[in-house]
Amino acid sequence: MILENALRAGILNQEYPLNSQRTVCIGGFPVQVASAHAAFWPGAETRYHGFFDETQEPVERVEIRVFSPPHRPPPPEKAIARVTQHNGTVRISWGNMAAEWHRAQRSGWTRQPETDFLLPKGHAPEYACDTYLRVMLSYRFPELGGFLLHAAGLVRNGKGYLFAGKSGAGKTTITRLSAPNAVVLNDDFTLVRLSPDGATVHGTPFYGEYGKGGANIGAPLAGIYFLSKANTHEAVPLPPQAAIARLFGSVLHFPSDRATAQALLDLATAICRRVPCFELRFLPDASFWSCINV
């Protein structure tokens, strides 16, 4: 592997002056993103548009580093993040990218070959940054009473709705059908938070096939719908235990201690007890909203 060869050669240990930095704020959680590599920023400016907020004091920091390998690495076969945790350090590998997040220090880095800038969509450096942020926030948000959910998030008439499901379930389809008459929070990963005032849903830049990030806003969560393609439109209420199991199964989480896993389960349980949950059987047309309590 190119990363292993680069580590042995000491290439990944090169130091670069960090002369550019921006603060990305997701769900009120500000992260400072820094990089000296000029080619990183055009894609990042596009991907995180609407989520930059220089008025916030960052509580996390990530450095995006780029190295020049002795040989051009092969394109990654598939962009799958592999995550491990040991003694407070979370390590991520993703294609030709390596990353570490140091939990106690609230900081980390990503490093990848500069030739990745030549790769197709899905392997560019801003996507590596995106992977880092998703992993780090999946650990941080439970401490704040929230989690990232594999769900499309939409706001209509001031209320937030989640449409959850695995890849191919129809999240992007629901988003595209709804975009003319709803505010899009995201089509792939949406932030859910719980407070004494109730559950809220928030936009994120972690988009999927929709191709652009959602609005950086929050709204009270009025309903959770688990997608199922069918020959008609129908919203079937789910009993609490079934809803909890399906919601927990859609939470983005990685290797963690038992306390963190229990906190996520407790959050999912509390949200399902406060928010109506349904299985949404739907056809690919916008009239599915007739089944939604708006």
pTM value is 0.88
Q: Indicate if the pLDDT at residue 56 is higher than 70.
A: yes
Structure confidence by residue, pLDDT tens digits, 129-180: 888 999 999 999 999 999 999 999 999 999 999 999 988 899 999 999 999 8
Average pLDDT, integer, range 177-199: 95
What amino acid is encoded at 86 in this protein?
Answer: H
Nearest in space to 181 (alpha carbons), one of 155, 161, 200: 155
Average pLDDT, integer, range 92-109: 92
Average pLDDT, integer, range 256-279: 93
Q: Indicate if the pLDDT at residue 6 is higher than 60.
A: no
Q: Where are the domains of the chain?
A: 2-143, 145-291
User: What's domain 145-291's architecture?
Assistant: 3-Layer(aba) Sandwich (3.40)
What amino acid is encoded at 69 in this protein?
Answer: P
Q: Indicate if the pLDDT at residue 123 is higher than 60.
A: no
Q: Indicate if the pLDDT at residue 8 is higher than 60.
A: no
Structure confidence by residue, pLDDT tens digits, 208-260: 999 888 999 999 999 999 999 999 999 999 999 999 999 999 999 997 778 88
Give buried/exposed letters for 39-72 (b at 16+ CB in 10 A, else e).
ebbebbeebbeebbeeeeebebbbbbbbbebeee
Structure confidence by residue, pLDDT tens digits, 67-91: 777 666 665 566 577 899 999 999 9
- Tell me what pLDDT residue 71 has: 66
Q: For residue 9, what pLDDT band results from cuts at 50, 70 and 90?
A: very low
Higher per-residue confidence, 293 vs 79: 293
- Tell me what pLDDT residue 73 has: 63
Q: Indicate if the pLDDT at residue 115 is higher than 70.
A: no
Q: Indicate if the pLDDT at residue 12 is higher than 50.
A: no
- Tell me what pLDDT residue 68 has: 74
